[in-house]
Chains A and B, each alone.
Chain A
Amino acid sequence: MGGSRLKVVLLTVRTIEQGVGKERGKSSDEYFESVAVCYVDPDDLSSLGVKEGSNVRVSTEHGSVVVKTVSSLRGPHPRVVFLPYGPWANAVTYPDTDSNGMPSLKGIQADVDVAPDQPVLSLGELLRKQFGKR
């Protein structure tokens, strides 16, 4: 296989780990580890030629972000990936609301590339990179 890019449908979702992490505190390691991740179907991981825990870049027309892969236990869901709600996921979500106030947070087109040399940014680094407070 050895392909290094996948076209996928991306959904941002709640996970129990994210729920527990956010209550522990958004600066906590638990929150980072539960949110800066992407749940990928095991077969799609093989297609990408990577193992669980590798860094991948998730890109949409609105941005891109590096996260760690988690092999999904909820498969099979080929070519569908899940990112827990949080700032990493929202680096790539669509702000269009179709004039009803709700941005597009589920079922959006995205690409997943292997990115072994690119780091997963911490919350502070991500905020600085995105918003560069002033």
Chain B
Amino acid sequence: MPIVKAVTCPVCGSLCDDIEVTVKKGEILKIKNGCSMSESKFLNYNGHRVLKPLIRKNGELVETSFKEALVRAAEILANANYPVLYGWSSTSCEAIRVGVELAEEIGGVIDNSSTVCHGPSTLGIQDVGISSCTLGQIRHRADLVIYWGSNPWSAHPRHVERYTTLSEGKFERSEWKSYIAKTEASAGRKKVDRALKRTSRNKSVLPPVSVDHGPCPAILKAGRKLIVVDVRKTRTADVADYFIQVEPNKDYELLQAFRGLIRDQEIETEKVAGVPVEYLEEVADAMINCNFGVIFFGLGLAQSRGKPRNIDAALSLTRDLNARTKFVIMPMRGHFNVSGADTVFTWQAGYPYAVDYSLGYPRYNPGETSIIDILRRKESDAALVVASDPVANFPKKAAEHLVSNPLIVIDPHFNATSQMADIVFPSAFVGIEANGTAYRMDHVPLPLKKIVKPPIGILPDKEILRRLLVEVRKTKRAAKRKG
């Protein structure tokens, strides 16, 4: 059976490009190297989908022809005063480029899912600047890896294995052995605990696993070190050499405390964000004494109180650390091409998200031109959603206005937003049924492969958008002639 090698996985921002897919008679039979999310996508993508365009008639979504759906969608967009075009993080750069052209054509606002994930990170980066690099450099050189407000075990399952602590670099060795020893010790401990419980009828003989913050000899060990900062002891924290449990919404003060500590300032309090200062001092020492450190930060910073200010503090900490050693920082981007959406928006419009074309030229002012704010102010009068599910992922109050707009959806999945839509265009799965380009979280572009053919009549996002753009122009010309 033919095996397609070096397939880029279209799930998360890690964009693992070593997937091997076994295909037989146009069907995917087996996946090698993928994580559980990757496997779930490649093996089940065909399950819950519609194969014909849908249009809402008398309150019900019914099948329609592609032509009718296209004409109706073009009318809605061409006649709207302030349409919003949202999504874009799970499709190809080529499709996004057509999307930006469409937004300019109809004078709409185009925003991508950065707005509800790493939008604050972008704002922080624009304020402070970022010291970053590619994941390859981190794999080969980083001897201190910090995941802050990010749980790659759940969100980027192969990140630690491919790019950081468990990867085998040129200059830094993998920490697999210590990880296995740690896992075995933990399993053994549980076994002993269970046996003692059975014999002694005690609730638990061994003291419970503590989540206090040390002191921990692992912070002094040789080789690669992994530190996790999170509000709970995640699975990633289980693998870590050091875990700092920060109180919710207190990341900013913890980051600022580290900034003070690495400048050898005294902190005149016993605890910061629930963590004893003496343990923070140990971590600050580890940061200063590493050769190449990296902070990967997740939505724990971007979505908690402070939002862009948390990111400012993290970026400033990294900048400060560079006075003592080499340190870089990178946001853990979620959707597989959300970095690509930011990139394409930037080279087309000059701004990475929340771009408003209503005045005929691009404007950018998150808080005003960002989709959540537009929906909360109930300003939009039509919506196009591409490769995203805002009805599931926006706070209800924002989704309410989106659903009240004439809503057009282009998506391979039949998701919550499709269920609320007025027109649905089912599309091909980019990276499985359509090729294209995506940007990894470190802004390295990678090719997405077409492995199998899409069902008959199902077009890629790029092609649907191109036809929609042509139809919108036609509708506008016809209106001009009439008016």
Contact = CB atoms under 8 A, between A and B. Distances in A.
Contacts of A102: 115-116, 119-120, 302-303, 307-308, 370, 372
Contacts of B211: 76
Interface stretch (A13-21, A48-56, A111-119): A13-21
Contacts of A28: 44, 47-48
B311 to A, nearest CB: 11
B115 to A, nearest CB: 5
A95 B401 CA distance: 12
A14 B303 contact: no
A27 B416 CA distance: 8
Interface stretch (B77-85, B197-205, B226-234): B226-234
Contact of B303 (A63, A82, A106, A134): A106
Contacts of A106: 248-249, 299-300, 303-304
Given A20-B37, A20-B40, A103-B116, A94 B304 contact: no
A11 B248 CA distance: 8
Nearest to B373: A97
B400 A130 contact: yes
Contacts of A97: 367, 370, 372-373, 376
B95 interface: no
A20 to B, nearest CB: 4
Among the interface residues A16, A23, A90, which one has the most CB atoms of the partner chain B within 10 A?
A23
B394 interface: yes
Contacts of B389: 26
A25 to B, nearest CB: 3
B232 A77 contact: yes
Contact of A127 (B45, B119, B413, B420): B420
Nearest to A17: B154
Contact of A19 (B154, B370, B372, B398): B154
Nearest to A12: B303
A6 B399 CA distance: 28
Contacts of A92: 396
B204 to A, nearest CB: 12
Contact of A107 (B12, B115, B249, B334): B249
A87 to B, nearest CB: 4
**Interface extent on A, as a size class?**
35 or more
B391 A87 contact: yes
Interface residues of B, number: 68
A129 to B, nearest CB: 10
A104 interface: yes
Given A87-B391, A107-B249, A25 B396 contact: no
Interface in A70-101: 72, 74-77, 80, 82, 85-87, 90-95, 97-101
A91 B299 CA distance: 19
Contacts of B120: 100-102
Given A25-B48, A62-B396, A80 B248 contact: yes
Interface string B139-156: 000000000000101110
Given A102-B115, A102-B302, A26 B370 contact: no
A24 B47 contact: yes
A107 B248 contact: yes
Interface string B386-430: 000101111111111001000000000111100110000000000
A134 B59 contact: yes
Contact of A101 (B154, B372, B397, B415): B372
A26 B392 contact: yes
Given A14-B155, A28-B48, A95-B372, A90 B119 contact: no
B436 interface: no
A25 B413 contact: yes
Given A97-B372, A100-B119, A131-B400, A90 B305 contact: no
A75 B227 CA distance: 18
A78 to B, nearest CB: 11
Interface of A: 9, 11-16, 19-21, 23-28, 62-63, 72, 74-77, 80, 82, 85-87, 90-95, 97-107, 123-124, 127, 130-131, 133-134
Given A26-B413, A77-B232, A102-B302, 20 more contacts: A11-B248, A23-B41, A23-B44, A25-B48, A28-B44, A62-B397, A72-B232, A86-B393, A92-B396, A94-B395, A97-B372, A97-B373, A98-B307, A99-B367, A100-B307, A105-B116, A106-B248, A124-B419, A130-B396, A133-B403
12 contacts: A11-B231, A19-B37, A19-B155, A23-B45, A25-B48, A90-B394, A95-B376, A95-B397, A100-B123, A101-B371, A102-B372, A103-B394
Closest 5 CB pairs of A and B: A101-B370, A25-B48, A101-B366, A99-B367, A23-B41
